[in-house]
């Protein structure tokens, strides 16, 4: 099963699951210049609930192993 964790960087997630780019755009998370940040840090910086972000990312990759 695909797993995305809050410790992963934005770049790691996109490299492994390219379809997640749209989710980062939806949440206005910089997936280019800020791609080195962990999901947790990016969520905190942007005032986003990390659980909600992880759920959205996971839903975007379901069925695409």
First to last CA, the chain: 7
- Provide the pLDDT for residue 1: 52
- Provide the pLDDT for residue 35: 86
Q: What is the pLDDT of residues 23-60, one digit of tens each?
A: 999 999 988 887 899 999 999 999 999 999 999 999 99
Query: pTM for this structure?
Result: 0.88
Who contacts 26 (Cβ-Cβ below 8 Å, separation ≥6)? 56
Domain ranges in the chain are 10-61
């Amino acid at each position: 099963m695909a797993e995305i964790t809050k410790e992963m960087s934005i770049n790691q997630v996109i490299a492994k699951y390219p379809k997640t780019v749209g989710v980062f755009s939806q949440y206005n998370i910089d997936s280019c210049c800020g791609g080195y940040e962990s999901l947790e840090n990016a969520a905190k910086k942007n005032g986003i609930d990390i659980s909600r972000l992880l759920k959205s990312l996971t839903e975007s990759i379901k069925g695409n192993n």
